[in-house]
Structure 1
Amino acid sequence: MRSRFLKPNGSLDPEHMMRTLGIHSIPTLDIHESAALRHTRVISVESGPKAVELEFASDGVQLSCLEAAASDIDQLEAAVRAWLDLDSDLAGIQAHFDLDVRLGPLIRTRPWLRMVGYLNGFEAAATTILGQQVSLAAGRTFGGRFVDAYGTDGPGGLRIFPTPGAVVALGVGTLRETIGLTNSRAATLFLMAEKFAAKNFTGTSGIPLDRDELLALRGVGPWTADYLQMRGRSDPDAFVPGDLVARRALERISEREAAALARSWAPYRSYAMVHLWASDAAS
């Protein structure tokens, strides 16, 4: 067993980070233990996939991996730091929002909320499509079926997220029948897989399609493109004005009003989203 303590730039909010990971966790892809503040999943490094256990505290994250070699730990640390946004300096963001009528009180209440991203860009895109217009629980169910049908076995009894090529190889009909998706949702996910495969995507973080390429896909609208800009690309200044939860936290203002209001939050609009989501969850 090799382990390393990952100290963030500043502090972190372990309960918020665990909630974010938990609401997006997928059976067989993750082991999520909320009471223990522990989350386990597979992370790929040059030597292969590793089952990594993370334990969260306000002063950092304990990373442990049973099968990691000494040369793997640096790579695992880099992946986890990027995924969990551990290196961002939140002090500047706190100062930027401090005098804002809406965000100031949220920041002062929970100053250490970080923007959790994705380890795998295709995971970000596929699970976002699977979660469109359904509850979080239904999205996780679809995700579990998808991972079971198209993923591969990994270490620690976990699965590795499917590759775009695995989806393309079996055709859109198999995707629809196996996961239980509507025709339109299956077609959108299949198109996304084709586009990722055409970009020679290798399972890394980030989205290889730009916004125009995303919006050109049938079934991908502004909400999906904005959300992937924020969580799929870890852009600190993305905003999702069409998000119903964020607008509810803003007293149910319109999409246009939300977009206009958010201009004053640049260049940290993604962090505004994080705080709006967290405030709605706490209400």
Structure 2
Amino acid sequence: MIRRFLEANGKLDPGHMMHVLGIHSIPGLDIHDPANNRHTRLVPLGAGPFAATLEFSGDGVLLECAGPPNDDVPELIQAVRSWLDLDTDLAPVQAAFADDELLAPLVGARPWLRSVGYLNGFEAAATTILGQQVSLAAGRTFGGRFVEAYGREAAEGLRNFPRPRDVLAEGVDALREAIGLTRARATTLFAMAESFAAKDFAAPGEFPLDREELLALRGVGPWTADYLQMRGRSDPDAFVPGDLVVRRALNRVTEREAAQLSAAWAPYRSYAMVHLWASDATC
């Protein structure tokens, strides 16, 4: 068992961390325990997947993980730090938004919000497709069915997130039936798996498709491509002008108006997204 405290570069907001991990948690992949401020999930490492439990405080994250060889501990720590955005210095972000009429009050109230990403690039892509045009709860349900059908059993009763080649082996009809998707949504997810496989996707931390490659897939529009630029590729300056929650937070502006407003928030537009999402009670 390793036990390490991963100090954040500055501070973090434990409540926000738990909220983000909770709304995106998937049955079989995550164990979310808000009562104890803890979250457990598998982290893929060179020696295999290991279940890591995270406990949040205002200064960082207590990491506990049983089993990884000593040689894999640095990889584990770096994977978690990158996933949770622990290394970003938020002081420049706070300074950039200090005089902004809309963002300054949000940042003042919650200055330590971080841009949580994904441990697995294919997980980012697949769960984003499964969550298109449905509620967060429905997206988690679809994700759980996907993991149950295609994920391999691992530690702590959890399962690995499916590999693209495992999805392709069964065909698109099997995918649709296993999850309960429409044919169009199943076709998009299958095409995403094909695209990842064509890139020889093997390193979970990578996101091998650029925006143009994503938009070339039927069923992938600008919202999905922009969202994956932000959370799949962990781009600090990505923005999703078509996001309905963000547009509501911006006084129900149009998509074009949202994009124009966001220009003032470069090069930290992803953090503007984080604060706008957090300001919405429904998100």
Residue identity matched to 1:279: S
Return the offset for 1:45: 1.2
Q: Which whole-Å deviations, capped at 9, do the CAs of 1:195-240 have from their partners, x for residues lacking one?
A: 0001000141232111111001000000000000000000000000
Residue identity matched to 2:3: S
Matched, 1:157 2:157: yes
Task: For 1:48 and 1:127, locate their aligned partners in 2 and report how far apart those are by CA, in whole Å.
Answer: 22
Q: Which whole-Å deviations, capped at 9, do the CAs of 1:89-147 have from their partners, x for residues lacking one?
A: 00000000010000000000000000000000000000000000000000000000000
Task: For 1:165 and 1:181, locate their aligned partners in 2 and report how far apart those are by CA, in whole Å.
Answer: 19
Note if contact 1:43-1:49 (Cα within 8 Å) is conserved in structure 2: yes
- Which residue of 2 is the match for residue 255 of structure 1? 255
- Which residue of 2 is the match for residue 32 of structure 1? 32
Figure out how many residues of one structure are paired with residues of the other and give that number.
283
Q: What TM-score do you get using the length of structure 1 for normalisation? A: 0.98
- Which residue of 2 is the match for residue 86 of structure 1? 86
1:106-255 equivalences in 2 (<5 Å)? 106-255=106-255
1:153 is paired with a residue whose SS is coil
| RMSD across aligned positions (CA) | 1.0
Return the offset for 1:282: 7.5
Residue identity matched to 2:193: A
Task: For 1:282 and 1:163, locate their aligned partners in 2 and report how far apart those are by CA, in whole Å.
Answer: 32
Task: For 1:81 and 1:92, locate their aligned partners in 2 and report how far apart those are by CA, in whole Å.
Answer: 19
Q: Which whole-Å deviations, capped at 9, do the CAs of 1:153-189 have from their partners, x for residues lacking one?
A: 0111110000000001100000011100001000000
Note if contact 1:205-1:233 (Cα within 8 Å) is conserved in structure 2: no
**Identity within the alignment, %:** 69
2:279 is paired with a residue whose SS is helix
Task: For 1:94 and 1:121, locate their aligned partners in 2 and report how far apart those are by CA, in whole Å.
Answer: 28
Task: For 1:245 and 1:107, locate their aligned partners in 2 and report how far apart those are by CA, in whole Å.
Answer: 18
Question: Which residues of structure 2 form unaligned runs of 5+?
Answer: none
4+ runs deviating over 2 angstroms:
68-72
Question: Which residues of structure 1 form unaligned runs of 5+?
Answer: none
1:152 is paired with a residue whose SS is coil
Q: Which whole-Å deviations, capped at 9, do the CAs of 1:20-54 have from their partners, x for residues lacking one?
A: 00000000100000121100001011111111111
